Structure 1
Amino acid sequence: MTIGISTFVWVSPFSTQSFDVLRKAKAMGYDLIEIAVEDRNLIDWNALKKTCQELNLKISVSGAFGMDRDISSDQPENRANGLSYIIDCLEIAHEMESPVFGGPLYSAVGKTRLVSAEQKKQERQWCLENLHEATKRAEELGVTLALEPLNRFETDMVNTVDQAISIVDEVNHPYLKILLDTFHSNIEEKNIPASIRKLGDRLIHVQANESDRGTPGTGHLDWLGIRDAFQDIGYRGSLVIETFGAPSKELARAASIWRPLANSADELAEEGFAFLKQTFC
């Protein structure tokens, strides 16, 4: 499998001034860098692609979904901006030769409320309408959208694999699949290996994060069971560590990151790589 790491591990937001993390990731042994697109204008994309090509470092692209990038919002301008952001990121992914663009495509991170069944149904409909539009562009560009369930403390819309499958199957488009983050699964799934087997070929991308979002291998996740489940469904994609070493105030609030998750980002990255390499490769 391809082992990757997110720019979120070291910096937020990622920018051209952060290119040292590319060299750092490669020196540690990583095959792939996952670029979190918080503000596309902070990044010289041509220079990024050239640098990664020189380093022989693959790229994947992930999203950052604030309240103004919410395709299920009751505010039309936020829904429109959310769809525009997704399409922008698909185009970036195409240019960077990333096979996927992933994240909680359906809603803003940190939007957690108890709403009526009627409102929930309406928000789901807005989500479906916008995902139908996004998949058209995804197919044109040859980039797969990867929808990520988040835990209950970060969204009230899609928490479980079953909920993700329901949306993906209703859209019913080959360029919409599912991203699994094992940190969120640890909170929401009764049995992570069983949930992976249920995903089958809907699984397109994995963020391999520990139970506390710290260093993989230091918590209580059933990594051997996860490995076996990947083998059973024939998953051969990427495993990407995504945690937050220096979150912005907005990101810290959305993801509830209030304390360091390791002694240092470098230590987490080095030890996490060694563990994933030993376990999965």
Structure 2
Amino acid sequence: MGIIGTGFIGRIHARAARQAGARLVGVAGADLANATEGAQALGAEKAFEPVTELITSGLIDVLHVCTPTISGPAYASVGRTWKLDADERRSVLAELRENLRPVLAYAGERGVRVGVEPLNRYETSLINTVEQALDALPDECSLALDTYHLNIEESSPAQAVRDAGSRIALIQVCGTDRGAPGSDHFDRTAFAAEVKDADYTGPLVIESFTPDNTTIATAASIWPPRAASQDDLATDGLASLRTL
């Protein structure tokens, strides 16, 4: 396997992979010096630079992309929905803020951003929109935006990006059917323009799922396959993103 990223998240992935019996062939970083230092720290066989050298080396079967961001719905189990009156919502959000602060402090000391992700109304009843997230979360907490959820909950996904601005830590993209981006009705041109204006320079992550994984398929309601194969989904999605 290979790892892109030499920081705190990279070390976690390297340790977990080694415990699972994987062989860490190479590490790629921001430049050769960074990759060399990272390879030594992570116990990899070789440093690679540029990243494409690792990807095309033919030496790896699995590639871990380790950005300095931890993202997800860090407030409730996916699929848990319940009716909240105004008092209960205030109480639950106050508890969320209290419990997030030590996590944010710990992550901040290690150069890691925490991005909390609003989910659509069918997957949570707590935080569905960017507006709710900005109102509910501590100022030092970032956001993870997912076009699938934005398409359901936001009257204007582009405006949601504009509102989130510098708080954006990660952007996940997929089709409105949770397949490959580009084959759906989502206005990616307007969305991409707002992402650029927000000075977001992180990855655009294609988050899709396969019905072959029963646990994830059930949680995300993925019944028919979203593509002929997962490779097709990735290839078609990347081709669409490269046109933006």
- Whether the 8 Å CA contact 1:213–1:243 is kept in 2: the answer is yes
User: Which residue does 2:79 correspond to in 1?
Assistant: 110
TM superposition shift of 1:124 = 1.4
User: Which residue does 2:154 correspond to in 1?
Assistant: 189
Q: How does 1:1-281 map to 2 (within 5 A)?
A: 43-44=17-18, 47=22, 50-53=25-28, 55=54, 59-60=65-66, 98-168=67-137, 171-173=138-140, 176-246=141-211, 248-279=213-244
User: Which residue does 1:72 correspond to in 2?
Assistant: none
**Separation (CA, whole Å) in 2 of partners of 1:253 and 1:105:** 19
TM superposition shift of 1:210 = 1.3
The verdict on how the C-alpha distance between 1:272 and 1:52 changes in structure 2, with shifts beyond 3 A counting, is: farther
- Whether the 8 Å CA contact 2:142–2:168 is kept in 1: the answer is yes
Alignment deviations for residues 38-95 of structure 1 (CA, whole Å, 9 cap, x no partner): xx997437957654545256723xxxxxxxxxxxxxxxxxxxxxxxxxxxxxxxxxxx
- Whether the 8 Å CA contact 2:69–2:113 is kept in 1: the answer is yes
Aligned-partner residue type, residue 105 of structure 1:
A
- Whether the 8 Å CA contact 1:210–1:221 is kept in 2: the answer is yes
TM superposition shift of 1:119 = 2.6
Provide the secondary structure at the position in 2 that maps to 1:150: coil
**Separation (CA, whole Å) in 2 of partners of 1:44 and 1:121:** 43
**Separation (CA, whole Å) in 2 of partners of 1:49 and 1:182:** 33
**Separation (CA, whole Å) in 1 of partners of 2:114 and 2:79:** 21
Provide the secondary structure at the position in 2 that maps to 1:278: coil
Which ranges of structure 1 fall in alignment gaps of 5 or more residues? Answer: 1-18, 24-30, 61-97
Aligned-partner residue type, residue 200 of structure 1:
G
Once the two structures are overlaid, the 10-residue window that deviates more, 106-115 or 267-276, is 106-115
The verdict on how the C-alpha distance between 1:48 and 1:167 changes in structure 2, with shifts beyond 3 A counting, is: farther
Provide the secondary structure at the position in 2 that maps to 1:166: helix
Flag as ranges the 4+ runs of structure 1 deviating above 4 A. 45-52
Alignment deviations for residues 239-262 of structure 1 (CA, whole Å, 9 cap, x no partner): 000110245333222211122111
- Whether the 8 Å CA contact 1:52–1:58 is kept in 2: the answer is no
- Whether the 8 Å CA contact 2:72–2:116 is kept in 1: the answer is yes
Aligned residues: CA RMSD: 2.8
**Separation (CA, whole Å) in 2 of partners of 1:126 and 1:276:** 38
**Separation (CA, whole Å) in 1 of partners of 2:23 and 2:147:** 28
- Whether the 8 Å CA contact 1:52–1:59 is kept in 2: the answer is no
User: Which residue does 2:58 correspond to in 1?
Assistant: none
Which ranges of structure 2 fall in alignment gaps of 5 or more residues? Answer: 29-47, 49-53, 56-62
TM-score (norm 1): 0.66
**Separation (CA, whole Å) in 1 of partners of 2:212 and 2:219:** 10
TM-score (norm 2): 0.75
Q: Which has the larger radius of gyration?
A: 2
**Separation (CA, whole Å) in 1 of partners of 2:92 and 2:205:** 30
**Separation (CA, whole Å) in 2 of partners of 1:269 and 1:210:** 12
Percent of paired sites with the same residue: 36
Higher helix share: 1
The verdict on how the C-alpha distance between 1:211 and 1:111 changes in structure 2, with shifts beyond 3 A counting, is: same
Provide the secondary structure at the position in 2 that maps to 1:234: coil
